[in-house]
Amino acid sequence: MKVQKYNSDYIETLKMYKQAIEEANIAVWQWNPKKNVFFASTALKAITQYDINSFNSLFSFIKKIAIHEDRESAINDLNFFMEGKVSFYRSEFRIVTKANELKWILFKGNMIKNENGEVNSIFGVASDITEEKNSKKAFVENVYYDSVTKLPNRDLFLIDIKNILQKTIYLNQEGAIIFVDLDNFKSINDTLGHDFGDLILKVFSQLLNICVKDYGNLYRLGGDEFIVLIEKFDSIEKLEEICNMILDYCKKPFEINEKQLYMTTSIGISIFPRDSYDANDLLKFADLAMYESKARGKNTCTFFEQALSESYTRRILIENELKEAIKNNEFSIVYQPQIDALENRIFGFEALLRWNNKKLGFVSPAEFIPIAERTGIILDIGNWVLNKVCKKIREFKAKKYRFNNVAINVSPIQTKETNFKDKIINVCKENEIALSLLEIEITERTLIELNDEKIADLYELIKKGINISIDDFGTGYSSLSYLTVIPINTLKIDKSFIDNIEDEKNRAVIECILNLSKSLKYKVIAEGVELKDQLEILMNLGCNIVQGYYFSKPVGEDELEEMLKNN
């Protein structure tokens, strides 16, 4: 008989392997199905806490320790391997240890057969992969879920919609993307702080989830944008019903940190595969429809249609052309006189911006100002207007023309700039004009959203003589109590009230505004006066400063100068 001799190096190597395997917490196991013997190294006991000697097959081991939900697939993995359907054994499943801990375990193995093709031995390794599994889960949560609202995010949405699209097309069904965007969230975030903004998003997402969970899945795209993905719907009416439900749900005040907040949303809907077979297009289309809802005065829903795509193209063109507009000298200012109808002379005028672009021709400020605001270009434009107007005031004053002040329109984004107050003071200083020659027109919405610091800035400007007026008064907020705290001294009655001045109710509102202004010592200007009758009614009510086509449309500098010469 030949005695095999092992040299000491070989034994050392074996010891090293054994130690390495033990330290790595990897169990080595072997199973002889014919003899019903199952053996494993101590590491398997360390992982499972079970006495491995008590098992006589890998099957009985798995049946004992695998959790209910994973048991069948774990048994299948082993069967497939034994039946030769796969050439290696690999199976991962969850187990409950004898000490009642939940763990993930991974089995890998191979087999040796005899000359007759019968299985002699199955052997392999097993390891505890709980940590790896948990960090993978955390990774998935990090990558596919939003940390603020815990909702699935844009990436997961794009994966889901692609799958659902295929299914929808295959089954010949229709689905929808409902794009939900909170109105004015950005300014709330800016005024009340980001932590509070996050709270709003959390509360809002919970509400929205309750509202839509029976119909589809909710995702947070980012910022204040949410998506409801509807796999299948029966009729357009049903979709409308869901959207109206969302709008109604938002009508109730949000209770956040004992603050009651009223929020509205704008909604856009695209339908698949009707509108497109492409997930990104569908998202863009729903976004366009949402944008249309905003343009239509917010708090409403819009279905995507092709025309919206065209208006989007125009919007992008305007956005790009605006960037170069100052440099290319495309802006100018026209002035609309404000008439003191009692004395029949020009009291002041409002400066209105005009834009003449080589590609687009004349574009109305009502169209390009909102785009300039969204992109931030409004700050440069606002500075340009301020400088230009102050230069004109200086020139006209040097020529001794008689007028009280010139009004300029100021966008909310300008008022929120940190150096807004100093900018106004400095530009007046540079042009050596009194601040009282300047009036700034701000909308109600802007005023209501200013923080204490900005309000203090405006009060300081008023103290230095500037006029601050509320533009489009009466169209924004219903509560008048805010008038007592905001820094203004002029109200501009909105054109819509003047248009309907024949109507008794409208007249009553105007009368009310005039009485209020008398007690608060505000100057009042009526906007958009087009007819003699309107002027007469206004004068009878005691409102004598008026602006509108009846006296004059906005005019260029030269024409204005002619008017001032005779003033």
Torsion over CA of 140, 144, 150 and 154, rounded to 10 degrees?
A: 180
> What are 277's two structure tokens?
């077979």
Q: Which of residues 287-346 bind ligand C2E (CB under 6 A)?
A: 336
The interaxial angle of helices 279-295 and 154-171, nearest 10 deg, is 110
**Contact range with ligand C2E by CB under 6 A, out of 51-59, 255-263, 309-317, 547-555:** 547-555
Size of the site for ligand C2E (CB under 6 A): 21
Q: Which of residues 369-408 bind ligand C2E (CB under 6 A)?
A: 369, 385
Which one of Ca ion, ligand C2E, none interacts with residue 385, CB within 5 to 8 A by kind?
A: ligand C2E
Residue with Cβ nearer ligand C2E (295 or 352): 352
**Contact range with ligand C2E by CB under 6 A, out of 269-277, 341-349, 457-465, 522-530:** 522-530
The set of residues, in sequence order, having a beta carbon less than 8 Å from that of 49 and lying 6+ positions away, is: 97, 98, 99
Residue with Cβ nearer ligand C2E (124 or 554): 554
Peptide linkage before 412 cis (omega within 30 of 0): no
- Least distance in Å: CB of 460 to ligand C2E? 22
> What are 54's two structure tokens?
């008590």
- What are the beta bridge partners of residue 336? 350
DSSP letters for 36-68: TEEEE-HHHHHHH-S-GGG-SSHHHHHHHHB-H
* Radius of gyration of the CA atoms of the chain, in A: 37
- Least distance in Å: CB of 445 to ligand C2E? 12
**Contact range with Ca ion by CB under 5 A, out of 56-64, 263-271, 406-414, 511-519:** 406-414
Q: Are strands 345-357 and 405-409 parallel, antiparallel or unpaired?
A: parallel
The set of residues, in sequence order, having a beta carbon less than 8 Å from that of 391 and lying 6+ positions away, is: 431
- Least distance in Å: CB of 369 to Ca ion? 11
Q: Which of residues 426-445 bind Ca ion (CB under 5 A)?
A: 441
Size of the site for Ca ion (CB under 5 A): 4
**Contact range with ligand C2E by CB under 6 A, out of 6-14, 15-23, 129-137, 361-369:** 361-369
Residue with Cβ nearer ligand C2E (129 or 509): 509
- Least distance in Å: CB of 407 to Ca ion? 7
Q: Where are the alpha helices (DSSP H) in 194-256?
A: 194-212, 236-251
> What are 391's two structure tokens?
């230069």
Candidates 262, 366, 453, 566; binder of ligand C2E (CB under 6 A) is 366
Which one of Ca ion, ligand C2E, none interacts with residue 41, CB within 5 to 8 A by kind?
A: none
- Least distance in Å: CB of 323 to ligand C2E? 17
**Contact range with ligand C2E by CB under 6 A, out of 100-108, 284-292, 500-508, 544-552:** 544-552
Determine contact, residues 298/268, Cβ cutoff 8 Å.
no
- What are the beta bridge partners of residue 95? 66, 103
Residue 471 interacts with ligand C2E (CB under 6 A)? yes
Closest residue by Cα to residue 353 from 391, 383, 319? 383
Candidates 230, 239, 353, 437; binder of ligand C2E (CB under 6 A) is 353
Candidates 207, 326, 352, 448; binder of ligand C2E (CB under 6 A) is 352
Q: Where are the alpha helices (DSSP H) in 83-129?
A: none
CA–CA distance from 474 to each of 292, 370, 443, 501 (Å)?
Answer: 24, 21, 10, 14
Q: Which of residues 450-489 bind Ca ion (CB under 5 A)?
A: 471-472
By CB under 5 A, name the binding residues for Ca ion: 409, 441, 471-472
By CB under 6 A, name the binding residues for ligand C2E: 336, 352-353, 364-366, 369, 385, 409-411, 441, 471-472, 528-530, 547-549, 554
